[in-house]
Amino acid sequence: MDKKFAKESYTEMNELVLPNDTNTFGNLMGGRLLYWMDICAAMAAQKHSNSPVVTVSVDNVSFKRSIKIGEVVTIQAQVTRAFSTSMEVRMEIFAQNLPKGTRDKSNEAYYTFVAIDKENVPTKVPMLMPETDLEKELFEKASQRRELRLILGGKLSAEHAISIQNLLKVAQKG
């Protein structure tokens, strides 16, 4: 199977928050941001897999600060781990007020995608090769995040979650 570096999937997208994107308080609607995040993350997953992808899960998305009308939203996405047919994509979201020269992190999230073939059947993806310390840390912890997603989705029992069980053993010793 082919191998790819994490940096090869890096995708950055910018959007200007316009009146149609906001609620009555002048804040970016959460649904609009989730839509933009899905597009950016899907592009990163497609760069890694070289095939169409479908979104299979969206982790908890917490809003650290509201994004205002007129600000520029920057979404940075990169694949953190590839499994057999699925990929975890991490995103960081920033809000920039260009006239003031400020840039604040507003969100961070993980999405999971599955690569599909022409018949819409899941297809194998290349292995991911992390290089930097951050990429290696995200890669290692991805198994725990994946198991947690599967537990919460009712697809795996906690007793069969190897990464989570190992984490609990370490915590009990400490």
The domain limits of the chain are 3-131
The mean pLDDT of 34-41, rounded to a whole number, is 98
Q: Which residue has the higher pLDDT, 170 or 130?
A: 130
Q: Which residues contact 21 (CB under 8 A, 6 or more apart)?
A: 15, 28, 29, 32, 69
Lowest pLDDT segment from 33-42, 113-122, 148-157: 148-157
pLDDT at 161: 61
Q: Which helix (H) or strand (E) holds 83?
A: none
Q: Which residue has the higher pLDDT, 134 or 1?
A: 134
Q: Which residues contact 152 (CB under 8 A, 6 or more apart)?
A: none
* Topology of domain 3-131, CATH: Thiol Ester Dehydrase; Chain A (3.10.129)
Does pLDDT of 154 surpass 80? no
Does pLDDT of 156 surpass 70? no
Give dist(CA 17, CA 35) in Å, integer. Answer: 13
Does pLDDT of 104 surpass 90? yes
The mean pLDDT of 13-32, rounded to a whole number, is 97
